[in-house]
Structure 1
Amino acid sequence: MFANLLIILASSLVVIAVFRRLQLPPVLGYLCVGLFVGPTALDWINESEELPDLAEMGVVFLLFSLGLEFSLSKMLAMRGVVFGLGILQVICTSGLLAGLLALQGMPTPAAFLLGAGLALSSTAIVSKELTSLGEIFSSHGQNAIGVLLFQDVIAVLLLTLVPVFAGDGGQAWYWALPLTLAKTVLLFFGLLLASRWVLPRLFHEVAASRSAELFVLLALVIVLLAAWLTHLLGLSPALGAFLAGMLLGESHYRHQIEADIRPFRDILLGLFFVSIGMLIDLHLFVSHGLAIAGLTLLLLLLKGSVVAVLVKLRGSDSETAWRSGLALAQGGEFCFALMAQMQQSHLLPAEIGSLLLAATFCSMVMTPLLLRAAPSIAARLHRKPNQEVQLDEISAHSAGLDAHVVICGYGRVGQSIGRFLRREQQRYIALDDDPVRIREAAAAENCVHYGDSRRGELLAAVGLERARLVVIAVDKTDIALIVLKAARLINSDVPILVRTRDDSVLAELKAAGASAVVPELLESSLILASHALVMLGVPEDHVQSRVNEVRQSRYRLLQGFYHGAQTNLIDSQGQPRVLMHAVNLGADAYACGRPLEELALEQMGVQLQSVQRQGEDLTTDASTCLHAGDAVLLSGSMAAIEACEARLLGGR
């Protein structure tokens, strides 16, 4: 067991690092690790009974985290998707796939079971990718999650039907179905009572103790206890974990719980994907490569089309329909367990089962790439209703505008900017891709339009080439960068103001053509500091000049902070955080008596914030010599700070 874990973790470390460099999803890396270290390739992993159980815990933790994001009120609002779209998707897709299998000579019971199994999608992959892409609460994201929740219930039922159709006894399906649903309802209400009366008191006591270890332990116990109770009822452990997370989603401790279990979730989920990859026979890709490719393509097209048609018939727009279809087009991890059980019961020939397993695996491998390419794929697969008409209408509306402001992203920040512009009688036009927000805003404002600001033709339609200013107020920095580049292709001279959360990609945005970048966290710190100075009696004109100095220096004074015990040294983009650290020079320090120019600290990736001597800040330049007792305040990444400290103290 320990040797297996060592091999898997070491291989994953190398492969995931390479995939990060190639900007490929980590899920693909884990699947490839399993494929190559498995018994049909390098055969580095020995048989282990504990590994599948450990890997399954990854899905349990993932579903618990997902449940934290979906409060009970949100789930009640999604009941139409879960039981409406979910039932239709399973019935329609199962019927089509079962019919195709029956035409190939498979007995009807086996065709029904296998068709239903292939109709289910990968909860683990879709949930993780939608979360990482920030699309979990989009229209297609909620469609996918709702359907996946219903599929988890159906998955349990299908496993109970295998011995029935194999003639091995067991319950009849018409008893198994209501019994499974009754157990689910019982579990839900049991967890609901616990979340209302027991868990809040427990979390309050643990939080009052201010013990991080106790909080982590309580979070782990809740996840595992919910999964264990669900397993005792004969249901999917992941389903119980989701329900527990959902019921805790409205508590005040939701964010802390999610942060505490994230490390366990990510590592265990990686093991799960590795275990999936190990089930595939690599030799099949050589001997039956074309057949596997054909089956994979057929599965993706059929499932994706069925979901897209159903979503469209429910009244959604075409883009939401196709992106929902792409999210649910793959086969699921449940198929592996179902096929293995069917082969043991002699309901499925081994050769057909191996080919279908390989096709299911390939569809799962392609899913992260499909989800990332979904916007462009959806655009190619359909023409939005009246898309050209929409562009013409926006163009007509903006035709009379000149020297106006274009706002990309009309959330809270974009709306605040719009209110100031209206007060100053400055004309503007805004774009946002949230249909609900646009519908609400359009009722009071005629200058707000629906659309993705990343589309160059849409930016041209709002008259960006005639604009006086462009404000990019979208929430995600990677999207802001794409919008910025698209805007610069249309108008290379217009000033562009970009809003970001912090200064982690400030240089990249400036290099791409941003005229000014406003990091929210730094700007709010600057405003608070200026208010504090004014309240202390410092003249307002002096405070304003200091504020202007900080802004003109690109917030250099505010970059970096002293990290604490709970500080995450990696930011949300996976980059090292800018930290601050003071190096006190002793009498034998290498830097004593040497000028800053010779030490060349900034060439090592840090910024020299200040040099303090006897408690006073020195005015420094390249010729300033350091003395014993000086405190050198540096900002930069942890690695750069450690390297500079080594040079200051030891000359290395």
Structure 2
Amino acid sequence: MSAESHGPDLVSVVALLGAAVVAVPLFKRLGLGSVLGYLVAGLVIGPFGIGLFTDAQAILHVAELGVVMFLFIIGLEMEPSRLWGMRQQIFGLGVAQVGVCMALLGGIAWLAGYPPVVAFVAGTGFVLTSTAIVMQMLEERRMVGTRAGQRIIAVLLLEDLAIVPLLALVAFLAPGAGVTSAFERWQAVGIGLASIAALVAAGLYLLNPMFRLLAEARAREVMTAAALLVVLGSALAMQLGGLSMAMGAFLAGVLLSESAFRHQLEADVEPFRGLLLGLFFLAVGMSLDLAVIGANWVLVAGGVVACMVVKAVAIYAVARAGRADHREALERAVLMAQGGEFAFVLYAAAAAVGIIDGPTNAVLTATVIVSMVLTPVMIILHDRMVPAAEPSLDGVEAPSHNEARVLIIGFGRFGQIAGGSMLTRNFTISVIDIDPEMVREANAYGFKVHYGDGTRLDILHAAGAGRAEIILCCVDDRDAALRIIHLLKSEFRGIPVLARAFDREHAMRLLAAGADEVVRETFESALSIGRSALIRTGTPDAEADEVIATLRRRDAERFALEASQGMEAGRRLLLSHRKDWLGDGAEAARDPAPQQGGG
């Protein structure tokens, strides 16, 4: 970095943050997407722009942790059962796409004059799509949860996992690989397998007890530190075993995907993932060597066009062979036509062992970077040239009401009963609770409850509040319930929120905060026991029901009056109701005082 200062290099930090803050909102407002904003900002402040930074590779090495954390979060979303359900897409569609693209792109490099081994490495590197760019595009286009998005993610997963055997293959293809003994090769394989086994064992037997102890301590910063420790520690374990850091993070995420602390982990890692992923895109923009492109512009331009066109055609053909319709196949081809960040890793490894020389590595790297820069532009052109599909159920499956998501916040005695009604209708439920003991006990009885603080917006996002059809706030903390309602109604407008209230005053405050409906936890139970008492003292069932209905109606009238005119108006209405009951000869039931503590 060119900027010099005494102490921390705040100029560089401010430059990075300033570039992102200015470029990303501007490009999103222009409809060009955040990724292109990061890339252009990196080019402007990099060594081939105004020169605030001279060593883009140093930033890129740090920023690769953003990709690592991104794959950890993807792993958290991929429960083992879900991965097993996607096995045909991952190992069927993924293998087909990777195999066809490797053959075609390797052939193009060979036709361009590269030796066979160099052509294989050059073509294979371009096959590895940018997970960071595609996932960012899927999120912006809200495709992550769609069937089309899931098929793209399946291919990305296979490509990310493919980097491991590809790096091993590069080592075997190295000019000096013949002097490596068979024992050393098998030793390297054994170390890699041991690293995977150790990580799996830690995930199964150590991580959940560790997070349980930390949750009981209620130290938020320690939970965040533990989440980062898991991500970076798993990445380091794989790196020491000679494998991909990204694979380690993904595997750790999968192992924790069914943990009760999944939502908390996702929320803790997400801010770091976002920052580092943005830094990654900035570093990619800085790495765009304009001198190399200028000196070899014919080779780079021809390589970009040829590789992107051939890869897109291959992806489209494989998609159509996999029974995707034209629109889905075309969109997948445009999204995945570029090279990716793992190409840098593969090319660097090939250069380190002497398969490719420095100038060839620079040209190949520039080709990949240009393709990554062009991807957001291609998406924009695709969206403008291909009109959005009209809403239709032809050829797609309509959402099933039986699969409607229900978010329950708080799973104590109140939340468990409320959630039981949802389970009887086979609704899928997402449940979070801040009490680790409650989470442990609920999971022991077969309920799937996750640890998480409902007063945190990032936790609510991670728990699926934005995708829920209805949200039940059942926490046993007055102030926490109010904060949760405020967050839900300000961030997730349009989703009905039902809330548990402690008394009349609390119910009014919840309604004022935006709750769609409140239920006082003691009111309905008090009416129920009152009805039972009437029946046991000789009152006919029909008459008892009429009494309870009248009480419920009058309480609703009083509640509405108090909400609009204040507690004193409600007290006057209560007195008039009592006079009515006494005038009819009935025993007046003493309604609790309308102040805090009343039903």
- Determine if the TM-score, normalized by the shorter chain, exceeds 0.5: yes
| Match 1:265 to one of 268, 273, 281 | 273
Conserved? CA contact 2:489–2:515, under 8 Å: no
CA deviations over 1:376-400 (Å, ceiling 9, x no partner): 76779xx99xx99959xx9xxxxxx
1:320 to partner: Cα distance: 3.8
Equivalent residue, structure 1, for 2:215: 207
| Match 1:527 to one of 509, 517, 539 | 517
Conserved? CA contact 2:130–2:341, under 8 Å: yes
Equivalent residue, structure 1, for 2:412: none
CA deviations over 1:533-576 (Å, ceiling 9, x no partner): 777889544666799999xxxxxx9xxxxxxxxxxxxxxxxxxx
1:116 to partner: Cα distance: 0.9
User: Between Structure 1 and Structure 2, how many residues are aligned?
Assistant: 450
CA distance in 2, matches of 1:372, 1:520: 37
1:260 to partner: Cα distance: 0.8
**Which segment drifts farther, 34-43 or 200-209?**
34-43
Equivalent residue, structure 1, for 2:311: 303
Conserved? CA contact 2:56–2:283, under 8 Å: no
SS in 1 for 2:516: helix
CA distance in 1, matches of 2:297, 2:566: 66
CA deviations over 1:464-514 (Å, ceiling 9, x no partner): xxxxxxxxxxx979xxxxxxxxxxxxxxxxxxxxxxx746586xxxxxxxx
Alignment of 1:38-437 (within 5 A): 38-47=46-55, 50-162=58-170, 164-169=172-177, 186-282=194-290, 295-342=303-350, 347-348=355-356, 354-368=362-376, 411=401
1:200 to partner: Cα distance: 1.3
1:224 to partner: Cα distance: 1.0
Q: 1:205 to 1:318 in 2, by over 3 A?
A: same
Q: 1:155 to 1:505 in 2, by over 3 A?
A: closer
SS in 1 for 2:343: helix
1:36 aligns with 2:26: no
CA deviations over 1:188-209 (Å, ceiling 9, x no partner): 4433322222111111111111
1:154 to partner: Cα distance: 2.8
1:176 to partner: Cα distance: 10
Q: 1:177 to 1:369 in 2, by over 3 A?
A: farther
CA distance in 2, matches of 1:610, 1:354: 75
CA distance in 1, matches of 2:157, 2:303: 26
CA distance in 2, matches of 1:274, 1:358: 15
Conserved? CA contact 1:28–1:368, under 8 Å: yes
Conserved? CA contact 1:161–1:172, under 8 Å: no
Equivalent residue, structure 1, for 2:506: none
Equivalent residue, structure 1, for 2:472: none
Conserved? CA contact 1:121–1:332, under 8 Å: yes
Q: 1:297 to 1:233 in 2, by over 3 A?
A: same
Does 1 or 2 have the higher relative contact order (CA < 8 Å, sep 6+)?
2
Q: 1:209 to 1:288 in 2, by over 3 A?
A: same
1:368 to partner: Cα distance: 4.3
SS in 2 for 1:528: strand
Q: 1:375 to 1:254 in 2, by over 3 A?
A: farther
SS in 1 for 2:226: helix
Conserved? CA contact 2:498–2:517, under 8 Å: no
Conserved? CA contact 1:117–1:158, under 8 Å: no
1:109 to partner: Cα distance: 1.1
Q: 1:327 to 1:267 in 2, by over 3 A?
A: same
CA distance in 2, matches of 1:196, 1:347: 40
Q: 1:184 to 1:340 in 2, by over 3 A?
A: closer
> What is the letter of the counterpart of residue 215 of structure 2?
A
Q: 1:77 to 1:176 in 2, by over 3 A?
A: farther
SS in 2 for 1:106: coil
> What is the letter of the counterpart of residue 333 of structure 1?
E
> What is the letter of the counterpart of residue 526 of structure 1?
D
Q: 1:110 to 1:206 in 2, by over 3 A?
A: same
Q: 1:530 to 1:15 in 2, by over 3 A?
A: same
1:95 to partner: Cα distance: 1.0
1:128 to partner: Cα distance: 3.1
CA deviations over 1:306-329 (Å, ceiling 9, x no partner): 223223323444444333333322
1:185 to partner: Cα distance: 5.3
**Which segment drifts farther, 167-176 or 220-229?**
167-176
**Which segment drifts farther, 291-300 or 108-117?**
291-300
CA distance in 1, matches of 2:188, 2:316: 29
CA deviations over 1:409-448 (Å, ceiling 9, x no partner): 65459899xxxxxxxxxxxxxxxxxxxx9xxxxxxxxxxx
**Which segment drifts farther, 63-72 or 31-40?**
31-40
> What is the letter of the counterpart of residue 46 of structure 1?
T
CA distance in 2, matches of 1:347, 1:6: 39
> What is the letter of the counterpart of residue 254 of structure 1?
R
SS in 1 for 2:113: coil
1:111 to partner: Cα distance: 0.6
TM-score by length of 2: 0.63
1:73 to partner: Cα distance: 1.3
Conserved? CA contact 2:71–2:250, under 8 Å: yes
1:44 to partner: Cα distance: 1.1
CA distance in 1, matches of 2:276, 2:405: 42
Q: 1:9 to 1:540 in 2, by over 3 A?
A: same
Q: 1:334 to 1:196 in 2, by over 3 A?
A: closer
Unaligned runs of 5+ in 2: 2-7, 407-426, 428-464, 468-487, 500-510, 528-549, 572-599
CA distance in 1, matches of 2:35, 2:380: 13
**Which segment drifts farther, 82-91 or 107-116?**
82-91
- Write 1 or 2 for the structure with the bigger share of helix: 2
CA distance in 1, matches of 2:74, 2:358: 36
1:246 to partner: Cα distance: 0.8
CA deviations over 1:6-47 (Å, ceiling 9, x no partner): 322222222223234334432222211221222222221133
Q: 1:374 to 1:171 in 2, by over 3 A?
A: farther
CA distance in 2, matches of 1:214, 1:389: 48
CA RMSD for the aligned pairs?
A: 4.6
CA deviations over 1:117-136 (Å, ceiling 9, x no partner): 11111122223332444322
